[in-house]
Amino acid sequence: MIRNNKYIYSLILAVSLAMVGCNKDYLKTEPTSSVPEEEVFVDTDGAMVVLNGVYRSMYNSLTNHGNFGQKSYDLVSDLMGEDMVVHTQGYSWFNTDYNYSGLSNIRSGQRPDRTWFYYYRIIGNLNRILSRLDDLEGEAEDKENIRGMSLALRAHSYYYLVNFFGHGGLQGPGVPIYTEPTEEGKARATIAEVYAQIFQDLEEAETLLDGKTRIHRSHINLATALGIHARAALQYGALDPSFYNVALDMSQRAITSSALSLMDSTQYNASGFNTLTAPEWMWGTEVIVDQSTIFASFYSHMDNRPAAGGYAALGGQKKITKSLYDRIPAGDVRKTLFADVASSSLPIYSQLKFQLRQAGNWASDYLFMRLSEMYLIKAEAEARTGAAAAATQTLQSLVSKRYAAYDATTFVGGALLNEILLQRKIELWGEGFALLDVKRLGRGLNRPAGPGNHGGDNLNGNDGSNFAPNVLTLPANSNKFLFAIPEDEINTNNALTVADQNPVEATPEGEDAVDSDDGSE
């Protein structure tokens, strides 16, 4: 069932108009104040207020300290991958994601439920904007810009939904598709149908955004829409290899239209990953201090320094595996973004890449898309479409900026593709791609074990072992990669039945995976 809410909440972050797949408790919000919808949707200025609320919801705290918008799902993806280690149990936030024990929990408030809620709330708000836009007062150019951004954001949300909840081949079950406000729930579309909607939205968005000036880098512009298109086409290429050509075209266009340049070795430091104006940032969101979510934030869970005052420093430090760290050569600036010595306050291999600009001040920005990703998509797409020489040059252009002695010409044939994938792991570590890459590459999960790796000796003196995730390998077709459809969706959407549930393992009775406010999972 879809609950059509009468009000747009004036809390810009939490606009909650058309909430998809819920009963009145499932996606219930409690605004401090509200404004009738009719008073907001008068002109394009009002529509822009709502759209800015959607953007802001991408970094807002939602229900507890383990939910803070897009970066919480990026962190989930990396923790479910192969290259991020948790030092100790800490306050237990995200540990059920790391050890694959919570994704089958269908109950309200659990990771699958919160993921479904987050993306469908965005889609519901965007559909409301799109449905009212043509009738509003305002310039045609402003309407085109708002429509283009809304369509690209909707595509972005469906991209994550179908990758978290969808399974099987092109005709496998994806997620319900909603393109307008409605009170009727829908059945699961196929994966092919969801991607068709994604690409349709992006193609229209790119036409509408072409030539438009971006007001703020938190907004989507043409380059960002092309980047989302490239990202989605690369993922879809695993199901339909013809889309590697699309990924190549879109990534090249994104690079060109961005008018950005790669960071050099002097720019490649922590400030390059926490500031919206950093040279490579194609898209991110600015977090100002009075809108920060403090403990319920990406930096709380990532900045390992004790002075930061977040959860990461309380035992849950995020670290690179020794296995991957050792594959970064000395002289590569990317190696400096991880601690190279043992310390009681900052364990060896702790990440230094994502740090608050000022410890104790939570006004540091969130990264959603970076130019380097486009280079890596382009290189991989070139390699997969037989353009080996071009792939070598693209890879050389990127990696030599980090490591002057790098020589991509030493890799040929299958070794070239493997090198591109290795550089993707190194370059994009901690940026949210690990699970998506594991799933699309079809090689299964293969976490390195032993000292410095998952569950092995933490190599930090007499401090014991790294937190054991208990899951080191999974076959490519494992059901453990799937997020369960929330039980509230099954119960209230008349177009779904229990038979539509993903084939995931049930959480044993008495072993609930809980993201509670005190961090106990």
In a domain, 400, yes or no: yes
C-alpha to C-alpha distances, 93 to 66, 310, 500, nearest whole angstrom: 6, 12, 29
Greater confidence, 166 or 521?
Answer: 166
- pLDDT for residue 456 is more than 90: yes
- pLDDT for residue 516 is more than 80: no
Q: What is the CATH number of the domain that holds 35?
A: 1.25.40.390
In a domain, 356, yes or no: no
In a domain, 19, yes or no: yes
Q: Which of 448, 446, 403 is nearest to 427 (CA)?
A: 403
> How far, in Å, CA of 337 to CA of 322, rounded?
13
> How far, in Å, CA of 108 to CA of 112, rounded?
9
Residue 154 near residue 55, CB atoms below 8 Å: no
* pLDDT for residue 66: 87
End-to-end CA distance of the chain: 30
DSSP H helices, 166-209, are 191-209
Six token digits for residue 278: 């950093």
In a domain, 520, yes or no: no
In a domain, 139, yes or no: yes
Tell me how far the alpha carbon of residue 475 is from its chain's centroid: 23
The total of structural domains in the chain comes to 1
Tens digits of residue pLDDT in 414-430: 999 999 999 999 999 99
**What domain range includes position 414?**
3-268+368-493
In a domain, 499, yes or no: no
* pLDDT for residue 35: 67
Residue 313 near residue 304, CB atoms below 8 Å: yes
In a domain, 325, yes or no: no
Average per-residue pLDDT for the chain? 90
> How far, in Å, CA of 403 to CA of 322, rounded?
19
Residue 472 near residue 199, CB atoms below 8 Å: no
Q: What is the pTM of this model?
A: 0.93
Lowest mean pLDDT among 203-212, 396-405, 500-509: 500-509
Mean pLDDT of 381-407: 98
In a domain, 77, yes or no: yes
> How far, in Å, CA of 73 to CA of 83, rounded?
16
* pLDDT for residue 34: 56
> Is the Cα dihedral 194, 198, 203, 208 positive or negative?
positive
Q: Which of 89, 25, 105, 92 is nearest to 63 (CA)?
A: 25
> How far, in Å, CA of 136 to CA of 138, rounded?
6
* pLDDT for residue 11: 31
Q: Which of 108, 66, 173, 240 is nearest to 479 (CA)?
A: 173
Diameter over CA atoms, the chain: 67
